[in-house]
Each structure stands twice: as C-alpha cells, then as structure tokens.
Amino acid sequence: MAEHPDCALIRRGYEAFGNGDMDAMAALMTADVIHHVPGNNPMSGHHKGRDQVLDFYRRLGEETKGTFQVHLESVLADGRGHVMSFHTARGDRGDRGIEIREGLFFTIVGHKITDIDQCTADIDEEDAFWS
C-alpha cells in the first residue's frame, strides 16, 4: 500500500531538515506558515512566516554548533490535512546535551505545510537546555 501523500510530504521535510536543505524545506511551506514551540526559553514562541520558521531551524543548528539532529520514528495522517510525526531530537550545547522525544502536529493545505504545533516529552528539560 502506498504512503499517504501528506505523510510523504512530511518525510521529505525531515529529509531536507537532516540535510540542511533550507530551499527544499521552504518549498514545502506556505509563506504564512507558523511553527509553535512550547516552553519558556529563547527558542519558544510562535515563529510566524516562512523566513522566521527557517531562521528558527537555522538557529537550532547554530546554537548546538551543528550537533542538533532528529531521528524520525513515525508519521501518521488523518486524510483530512493533518499529520502527526514523532521523533527523537539530540544535540549538545555548551556542557549540556539533550536526547528527547518530540512530536509535531502539521496542518497541510494545498499540499503545503501551513501550521506546525510542537510537543515535547519534557518541557522543563527543553527549557533548561535552550536557556
């Protein structure tokens, strides 16, 4: 059975992220995409617009000196424009490291990502790592 097109779109996004291919990632998003990041740290908040979202992804790499990576575990679609992905994020920042499970809830309209809600297994751990 073929993978749902929305799941394939998200897998392409993860592949582009892993390769640092911001042009490929940009092509998957609407101009007004929003990525919502939980917590109370410098990375938290609502990153609004394609440029700000891509800047957020660049900052993940910069803040961790290139060590930030995600390992995709699963992708699920509802067939109505929503996809959930689950991954493990890893990175080092100064003398602190993190390995944490996260999930993303995507809204897709017209074969483009319009909204990303991020969830984490431990908000306090993320706040400590990014602060």
8-66 pLDDT, tens digit each: 999 999 999 999 999 999 999 999 999 999 999 999 999 999 999 999 999 999 999 99
Distance, CA of 35 to CA of 2 (rounded, Å): 28
Tokens of 62: 């910069």
The total number of structural domains in the chain stands at 1
Tokens of 89: 């994020």
Mean pLDDT of 56-77: 97
pLDDT at 2: 82
CATH number of the domain encompassing residue 35 = 3.10.450.50
Tokens of 94: 């100064």
Amino acid at 38: P
Amino acid at 49: G
Q: For residue 128, what are the CA distances in angstroms to 25, 43, 64, 71, 89? A: 28, 11, 14, 21, 15
pLDDT at 27: 98
Distance, CA of 69 to CA of 62 (rounded, Å): 12
* Domain membership of residue 87 as a residue range: 5-130
Distance, CA of 92 to CA of 97 (rounded, Å): 4
Global pTM value: 0.95
